[in-house]
Amino acid sequence: MIATHTPDQSNKLADQAAQSADHAIRSTQRVANEALDGLANSVQDLRHTATPLLNRAAEQASSMAHRGVEAVREGTHQLRDKARHASDSTVSYIKEEPVKSMLIAAATGAALMALITLISHSRTRG
């Protein structure tokens, strides 16, 4: 059976279809707006939560850098003290044992020269 519609029925169906499409568009716009509002609120919440965390992380990084600088400064001070002590000990040893000190210095110089000669010969052959 074939349904036949009068022009009034066709207009009524077209109007209903247009209203349904309009309703679907408005509903989609409302859902999209609600989703965007929710996303904007989530971003704001995240920003409010992240800001203190970032500030705390920056403070901790600054504190760690300060402690690092202090540790390097203390290490440098200790190294300087040890070098000064070694220098003083060396001077005292040289004053107490001048002949022995000269023999040790000569032996060290000879060993260094032998090492340098050995290294230079291995480079020229390689």
pLDDT, mean of residues 16-26: 88
Does residue 3 have a pLDDT over 80?
no
Q: For position 1, what pLDDT does the model report?
A: 46
Write the pLDDT tens digit of every residue in 47-77. Answer: 888 888 889 999 999 999 999 999 999 999 9
Report the pLDDT averaged over residues 100-122: 92
CB atoms within 10 A of CB 42: 10
pLDDT value for 7:
72
Buried b / exposed e over 64-88, threshold 16 CB at 10 Å, is eeeeeeeeeeeeeeeeeeeeeeeee
pTM of the model: 0.44
